[in-house]
Each structure stands twice: as C-alpha cells, then as structure tokens.
Amino acid sequence: MTDSQTHIVVTGLMGVGKSTTAEALAKRLGGWQVRDSDVDLERIFGINGAELTEQFGVDELHRLESAMLLGALGSTTPTVISAAAWVVEDARCREALRRCARVVFLHIPLSELRARIETGDHRRTIDYPAMQALAERRAPMFATVSDVSIEATLPTDEVIDVILNSEAFRDLT
C-alpha cells in the first residue's frame, strides 16, 4: 500500500450490498465522502443502470461505469467508492485500483445473489448461468485488486468491523 491510496473502493457483483456497505463504512470513518456509480449515473442521465442498458446497451453502461470509477479515483478527497463489478474487467481500472485505493471485495452465495437481483429494480436482468459465468470470470480479477474479501451475508455493522480489523485497514481506526 502506498501513500497515494487515499480511497476505499467497495466492489463485487451486483446485489452484494456495495452501496449499503460503502455508506456505512464512510459513516464509521467519520464522514468520508461517498461516491456510488449507480447514484452518479442516475443523477447524470436521469435513468438507472437497467434503463441505461436497455437504451444504450451493456457495453455503454460498462464504459460509463469505468469512467465513473476513474473520475472518483482522481479526487484528492479521501472517498469511499461503491464501484460496479464490471470495472475489474477494464485493465485501466484494475491499475487505478491497485495504485489509488484499498479495495474491499464483497461476495455472497450465488443463490442469495440471484434472489437479491430479482427484487432490485435498478439492476439489469441477468439469468443464473450468465451470473455464474460472470462470477467465475471475474473472480481472479477481483483477487488481483482486493485488499480484503468478505462474505457479505453478515449484518452490515459486522462487515464494517471485518473491514476495519483487517490488516489493510487497521491504520484507519
């Protein structure tokens, strides 16, 4: 970890609890700024990720998600960033994550993830085999950028405790 790593990025597949975890972590850290790619995209375009995908296609959504992360990482203000899982597939984003952030990878069993995705209206529709393929393809990429990997089925407060008690984050408390 270098002195330039002034941000914390919370990532994982859609539906794992990135937004909730990022908000709670920022609050626990004394009010760090929070950026959320879903919120930023909806604020800018007036529609959510599912609608962006429907109107412009998944490739454009991914391009925008990468741009959101890179823009957030460019800030000099320490920020907790909720980043779309897609960003680990973008080599520029992986490099920026390694250089500028401490990364929390959240994961849950795919069966629970599927249930969460089916109840969320801001997420694009994805079938179980495709979700499983994404999880398998992205797993090694998450491993290369993550400072801590957490089973996010725990209550949010416990997830935050695990993050802050991990070796990579102890200096923040």
Of the segments 47-51, 107-111, 167-171, which one has the largest average pLDDT value?
A: 167-171
17 CB-near residues (< 8 Å, 6+ apart) = 106, 108, 152, 156, 159
CATH code, 114: 3.40.50.300
Q: Is 2 inside a domain boundary? A: no
- Percentage of the chain surpassing pLDDT 70? 91
Buried b (16+ CB within 10 A) or exposed e, 81-117: bbbbbbbbebeebbebbeebbbbbbbbbebeebbeeb
Which residue segment(s) compose the domain that 61 sits in?
7-172
Q: Is 1 inside a domain boundary? A: no
Query: Mean pLDDT for the chain?
Result: 89
Q: Is 112 inside a domain boundary? A: yes
Single out the residue of 22, 40, 29 nearest to residue 106, CA to CA.
Answer: 22
Q: Which helix (H) or strand (E) holds 38?
A: helix 37-45
Q: Which two structure tokens, joined as six digits, stand for 47?
A: 């529609």
Q: Is 48 inside a domain boundary? A: yes
- Percentage of the chain surpassing pLDDT 90? 69
pTM beyond 0.75? yes
Q: Which helix (H) or strand (E) holds 94?
A: helix 91-100
Q: Which two structure tokens, joined as six digits, stand for 16?
A: 């794992």
Q: Is 12 inside a domain boundary? A: yes
For residue 124, pLDDT beyond 80:
no
The residue behind tokens 């296609």 is: 57
Count of structural domains within the chain: 1
With cut-offs at 50, 70 and 90, classify the pLDDT of residue 27.
very high
Q: Which helix (H) or strand (E) holds 27?
A: helix 18-28
Residue 82's DSSP bridge partners are 10, 36
| pLDDT given for residue 120 in this prediction | 56
* pLDDT tens per residue across span 69-106: 999 999 999 999 999 999 999 999 999 999 999 999 99
Residue 160, classified by CB atoms within 10 Å of its CB into exposed (0-12), middle (13-18) or buried (19+), is: buried
